[in-house]
């Protein structure tokens, strides 16, 4: 079968025009008819999104009925984290918190879902990596450790904002350094294949770069990939079709 997946940092629904509108994000991606969506930077009940349950709204308008959210932090009377939307029932979900090197840094997580259809078992991971190199390495080690415990007959897809080459240099200030090779990616490529998207996916006043992508297990085949440009977030989405 063909499995269509998208990873998207939705920036709590905020577009380049500063308007917060999850419905327009979901309807924009719906035309790709995805089976799975990995989401990052979702708010649930926070003041800045007027107490909206954003993963519910996204699920409703993209028409993917099954959803889970991994809560990484409490934020402005609500919660903030990552999500997974699915066309198929989700059997199991858990959220692993990534290690911190400084307790003042933002907590990030690894959201893990398991889906079965027929004899196929699908393991999905939505990740939003830290803007700190040491924490990215530790987070990658944790992700690799989790994946290595999965039976080799099962399928794995990881989607996310990996923040590769990004470092925080102040409040809401970042710098990006492009490289031909990143340690974090090389660690993951020892056990998974990578979608080889190269177009910039992140746009900000302090930098831009290709930091959103997907990894997948070697027992499935990548058929198609595309960077989906949008003004409805400060990130483009990444689309991929797999033969599973």
Higher pLDDT, 224 or 172: 224
- Report residue 173's pLDDT band, with 50, 70 and 90 as the boundaries: confident
Helix H or strand E segment including 74: strand 66-75
Q: Given this model, what pLDDT does residue 70 score?
A: 98
Mean of pLDDT values over 146-160: 97
pLDDT tens profile 131-145 = 999 999 999 999 999
Reference 242, options 210, 208, 216; nearest CA is 216
Question: For residue 226, how many C-alpha atoms fall within 13 Å in the half-sphere facing its CB?
Answer: 12
SS3 of 149, please?
Answer: coil
Residue-level pLDDT at 21: 98
Residue 118 sits in a domain whose CATH number is 3.60.10.10
Average confidence (pLDDT) over 178-207: 93
pLDDT greater than 80 at residue 165: yes
pTM of the model: 0.97
Q: How many domains does the chain have?
A: 1
- Whole-number pLDDT of residue 193: 98
pLDDT at 226: 98
Among candidates 99, 123, 126, which has minimal Cα distance to 110? 126
Question: Does the pLDDT of residue 154 top 90, yes or no?
Answer: yes
Q: Are strands 166-170 and 173-176 parallel, antiparallel or unpaired?
A: antiparallel
Across all residues in the chain, what is the average pLDDT? 96
Domain that holds residue 225: 2-243
Tell me which residue of 81, 77, 88 sits closest to 107, measured CA to CA. 81
pLDDT score for 225: 98
Helix (H) or strand (E) holding 27: helix 22-30
Question: Does the pLDDT value for residue 176 go beyond 90?
Answer: no
Q: Give the model's pLDDT for residue 168.
A: 84
pLDDT at 170 over 90: no
């Amino acid at each position: 079968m063909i499995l269509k997946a998208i990873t998207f940092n939705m920036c709590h629904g905020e577009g380049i025009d500063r308007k917060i509108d999850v419905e327009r994000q979901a309807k924009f991606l719906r035309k790709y008819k995805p089976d799975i969506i990995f989401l990052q930077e979702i708010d649930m009940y926070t003041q800045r999104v007027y107490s909206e349950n954003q993963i519910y709204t996204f699920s409703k308008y993209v028409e993917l009925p099954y959803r889970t959210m991994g809560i990484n932090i409490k934020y402005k009377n609500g919660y903030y984290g990552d999500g997974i939307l699915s066309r198929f029932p989700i059997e199991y979900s858990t959220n692993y918190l990534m290690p911190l090197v400084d307790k003042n840094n933002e907590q990030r997580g690894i959201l893990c879902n398991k889906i079965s259809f027929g004899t196929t078992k699908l393991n999905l991971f939505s990740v939003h990596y830290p803007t700190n190199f040491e924490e990215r390495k530790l987070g990658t080690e944790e992700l690799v450790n989790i994946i290595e415990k999965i039976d080799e007959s099962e399928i794995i897809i990881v989607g996310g904002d990996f923040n590769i080459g990004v470092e925080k240099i102040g409040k809401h200030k970042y710098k990006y350094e492009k490289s031909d090779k990143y340690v974090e990616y090389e660690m993951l490529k020892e056990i998974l294949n990578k979608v080889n998207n190269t177009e910039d996916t992140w746009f900000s006043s302090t930098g831009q770069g290709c930091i959103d992508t997907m990894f997948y297990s070697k027992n499935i085949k990548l058929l198609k990939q595309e960077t989906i440009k949008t003004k409805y977030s400060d990130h483009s989405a990444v689309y991929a079709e797999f033969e599973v």
